[in-house]
């Protein structure tokens, strides 16, 4: 089902992309133009995005990668 | 460091010492650098390197940040800590460079170019170039034209984080954004996690609220529809149809009855007509007539037949009477010549020794010979 597939690929989005889509979704639902069925789907996607954002935030990066000059100039 | 002191000399009577009371203290020998700085700023500004239109926006939620600063010194830790404190989920990449001394500007510029070239691999969203506080001489590398151009040409947005709050270098002016010190780098480069978390809570609330409201609205609509007569009494439609059917049925029965009555009447009338004709009587009469005729016919035929029979009998008698052979019974015979087959009437017809055939009444033929005439 299209709805389920939508939820699953949230994981690949960056924080910026997620927030953008989230804002979009909230706007769409608030305007009330889309049919109820779609609203519910969008809601589910929105919640998935929120969860995804929270997951990103909770991950604290401990490592710092060092870059050095490359051999080939 | 050499200083230029301005003040007055006075005597400290107690010790008999001459003392210099300083009113103003300035760094000496810095004048040239200061001038060079001002000229550089003027030059690059005229070229438009500092214009806002060239400044790239800093990504709101960076995923990967590159840091260019000295490996030694506090700056690198200040920068890293300030970022980690606010937005710990970002990945940091550290590119160590000298931040003062011979060739520092060139090395930093080369580093910037290098990262830009290899960014398909690193995928950095923003760069931070900085160093800790120091004198104008210490900060010289960040006032050089080479670095300014390297920052300007960087496709990746660059944040400068140089020195103390009061220190403004050329790098600060040309960068896409400026952090007043390395410790403020985090504030400029990344958002505040707490704040963003709060925003997410707010969004969640809005989203849930909106959906709940919409679902409630839809439910109300549904209830209104369900309250409709058709749902309260779903058989209504069937009942109406049933009613219609009953009415039509009755109508049909009525119509059929009338039709039958009509036909019955027609039948009656026709029967009356027929009875009036008294067909049985007519039939009776006709039968009698027929019998009569039949009898007459039979009689007639009988009569005719009898007549004919009588005629026949009469003629038969006559014929029998005329039968030449009946004479034979009276004793006469018929004699024919065997030779000629002709009747012998008189003696002239035969000769002696002729053969004669005589037919008698019993139809036997006798042959005889004439012996005497």
Instruction: Report if residue B46 sits inside a domain.
Output: no
Suggest the residue from A35, A67, A68 to mutate for an interface test with chain B (most B CBs closer than 10 A).
Answer: A67
Inter-chain residue contact B200 with A15, CB threshold 8 Å: no
Which of B59, B208, B215 lies closest to A16 in CB terms? B59
Instruction: Report if residue B254 sits inside a domain.
Output: no
Instruction: Report if residue B277 sits inside a domain.
Output: no
C-alpha distance from B1 to closest chain A C-alpha (Å) = 35
Which of A30, A56, A64 lies closest to B94 in CB terms? A64
Tell me, yes or no, whether B151 and B90 share the same domain: yes
Tell me, yes or no, whether B127 and B139 share the same domain: yes
User: B222 — contact with chain A (CB < 8 Å)?
Assistant: no
Inter-chain residue contact B111 with A19, CB threshold 8 Å: no
Tokens read off for B224: 């209104």
Q: Which residues of A touch B220 (CB under 8 A)?
A: none
Instruction: Report if residue B68 sits inside a domain.
Output: yes
Tell me, yes or no, whether B165 and B201 share the same domain: no
Q: B356 in helix, strand or coil?
A: strand
Tell me, yes or no, whether B124 and B111 share the same domain: yes
Tokens read off for B346: 């008189």
Tell me, yes or no, whether B61 and B158 share the same domain: yes
Instruction: Report if residue B178 sits inside a domain.
Output: yes
Element (H, E) at B19: strand B17-27
Element (H, E) at B267: helix B236-277
Report angle CA B220, B221, B226 to the nearest 5 degrees: 95
Q: What is the DSSP string of B283-301?
A: HHHHHHHHHHHHHHHHHHH
Inter-chain residue contact B93 with A65, CB threshold 8 Å: yes
Residue in chain B nearest A55 by alpha carbon: B89
Tell me, yes or no, whether B187 and B55 share the same domain: yes
Inter-chain residue contact A16 with B61, CB threshold 8 Å: yes
Instruction: Report if residue B4 sits inside a domain.
Output: no
Whole domain around residue B363: which residue ranges?
Answer: 327-369
User: B254 — contact with chain A (CB < 8 Å)?
Assistant: no
Inter-chain residue contact B95 with A67, CB threshold 8 Å: yes
Residue in chain A nearest B195 by alpha carbon: A57
User: B129 — contact with chain A (CB < 8 Å)?
Assistant: no
| CA–CA separation, B109 and B145 (whole Å) | 10
* Residue B131, domain CATH: 3.40.50.261
Tell me, yes or no, whether B115 and B96 share the same domain: yes
Q: Which residues of A touch B (CB under 8 A)?
A: 14-16, 19, 22-23, 25-26, 29-30, 32, 36, 39-40, 43, 46-47, 50, 53-54, 56-61, 63-70
Tell me, yes or no, whether B109 and B223 share the same domain: no
Inter-chain residue contact A15 with B111, CB threshold 8 Å: no
Q: Tell me, what's the pLDDT at B30?
A: 60
Instruction: Report if residue B169 sits inside a domain.
Output: yes
Which of B59, B115, B207 lies closest to A67 in CB terms? B115
Tell me, yes or no, whether B213 and B138 share the same domain: no
Contacts of A13 (CB under 8 A, 6+ apart): A21, A49, A52
Q: Are B27 and B1 in contact (CB under 8 A)?
A: yes
Element (H, E) at B211: helix B193-226
Q: Tell me, what's the pLDDT at B27?
A: 67
Chain-centroid distance of CA B184 in Å reads: 58
Tell me, yes or no, whether B213 and B102 share the same domain: no
Tell me, yes or no, whether B73 and B202 share the same domain: no
Residue in chain B nearest A53 by alpha carbon: B200
| CA–CA separation, B183 and B128 (whole Å) | 12
Q: Which residue has the tokens 């830009």?
A: B116
Give pLDDT tens digits along chain A (73 positions).
444 545 567 788 889 999 999 999 998 888 878 888 888 899 999 999 999 999 999 988 888 899 887 755 4
Which of B200, B207, B211 lies closest to A54 in CB terms? B200
Element (H, E) at B337: strand B334-337
Q: Are A20 and A46 in contact (CB under 8 A)?
A: no
Whole-complex ipTM: 0.83
Give pLDDT tens digits along chain B (373 positions).
677 888 999 888 888 888 888 998 876 766 788 888 999 999 999 999 999 999 999 999 999 999 999 999 899 999 999 999 999 999 999 999 999 999 999 999 999 999 999 999 999 999 999 999 998 889 999 999 999 999 999 999 999 999 999 989 999 999 999 999 999 999 999 999 999 999 999 999 999 999 999 889 889 999 998 888 777 788 888 888 999 999 999 999 999 999 999 999 999 999 999 888 888 888 899 999 999 999 999 999 999 999 999 999 999 888 877 777 777 888 888 888 888 888 888 888 888 888 989 888 887 889 999 888 7
Instruction: Report if residue B37 sits inside a domain.
Output: no
Packing angle, helices A36-58 and A15-31, rounded to 10: 150
Pick from B174, B195, B164, B193: which is nearest to B78 by CA?
B164
Domain end, chosen from B175, B203, B227, is at B227
Which of B66, B197, B218 lies closest to A36 in CB terms? B218
Domain end, chosen from B227, B244, B277, is at B227
Tell me, yes or no, whether B85 and B63 share the same domain: yes
Report angle CA B176, B179, B180 to the nearest 5 degrees: 130
Residue in chain A nearest B212 by alpha carbon: A40
Q: Which residues of A touch B80 (CB under 8 A)?
A: 64
Q: Tell me, what's the pLDDT at A71?
A: 59
Q: Please give the tally of structural domains in chain B.
A: 3
Q: Are B66 and B115 in contact (CB under 8 A)?
A: yes
């Amino acid at each position: 089902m299209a709805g389920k597939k939508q939820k699953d690929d949230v994981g690949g989005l960056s924080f910026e992309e997620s927030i953008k889509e989230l804002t979009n979704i909230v706007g769409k639902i608030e305007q009330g133009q889309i049919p109820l069925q779609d609203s519910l789907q969008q809601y589910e996607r929105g919640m998935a995005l929120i969860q995804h954002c929270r997951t990103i935030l909770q991950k604290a990066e401990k490592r710092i990668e060092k870059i050095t000059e490359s051999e080939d100039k | 460091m050499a200083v230029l002191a301005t003040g007055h000399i006075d005597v400290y009577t107690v010790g008999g010492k001459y003392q210099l009371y300083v009113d103003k203290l300035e760094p000496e020998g810095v004048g040239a650098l200061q001038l060079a700085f001002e000229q550089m700023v003027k030059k690059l500004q005229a070229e438009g390197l500092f214009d806002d239109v060239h400044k790239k926006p800093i990504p709101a939620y960076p995923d990967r940040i590159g840091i260019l600063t000295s490996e030694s010194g506090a700056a690198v830790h200040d920068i890293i800590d300030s970022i980690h404190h606010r937005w710990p989920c970002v990945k940091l990449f550290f590119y160590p460079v000298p931040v003062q001394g011979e060739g520092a500007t060139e090395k930093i510029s080369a580093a910037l170019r290098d990262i830009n070239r290899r960014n398909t691999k690193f995928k950095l969203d923003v760069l931070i170039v900085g160093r800790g506080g120091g004198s104008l001489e210490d900060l010289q590398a960040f006032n050089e034209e080479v670095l300014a151009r390297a920052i300007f040409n960087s496709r990746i947005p660059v944040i400068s984080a140089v020195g103390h709050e009061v220190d403004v270098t050329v790098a600060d002016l040309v960068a896409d954004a400026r952090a007043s010190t390395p410790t403020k780098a985090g504030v400029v480069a990344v958002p505040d996690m707490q704040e963003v978390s709060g925003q997410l809570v707010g969004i969640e609330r809005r989203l849930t609220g909106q959906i709940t409201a919409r679902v409630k609205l839809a439910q109300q609509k549904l209830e209104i529809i369900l309250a409709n007569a058709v749902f309260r009494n779903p058989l209504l439609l069937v009942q109406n149809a049933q009613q219609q059917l009953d009415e039509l049925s009755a109508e049909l029965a009525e119509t059929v009855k009338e039709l039958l009555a009509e036909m019955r009447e027609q039948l009656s009338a026709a029967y009356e007509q027929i009875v009036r004709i008294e067909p049985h009587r007519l039939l009776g009469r006709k039968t009698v007539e027929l019998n009569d005729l039949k009898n007459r016919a039979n009689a007639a035929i009988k009569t005719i037949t009898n007549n004919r029979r009588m005629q026949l009998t009469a003629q038969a008698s006559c014929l029998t009477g005329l039968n030449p052979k009946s004479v034979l019974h009276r004793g006469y015979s018929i004699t024919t010549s065997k030779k000629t087959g002709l009747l012998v009437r008189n003696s002239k017809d035969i000769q002696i020794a002729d053969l004669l055939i005589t037919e008698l009444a019993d139809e036997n033929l006798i042959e005889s010979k004439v012996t005497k005439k």
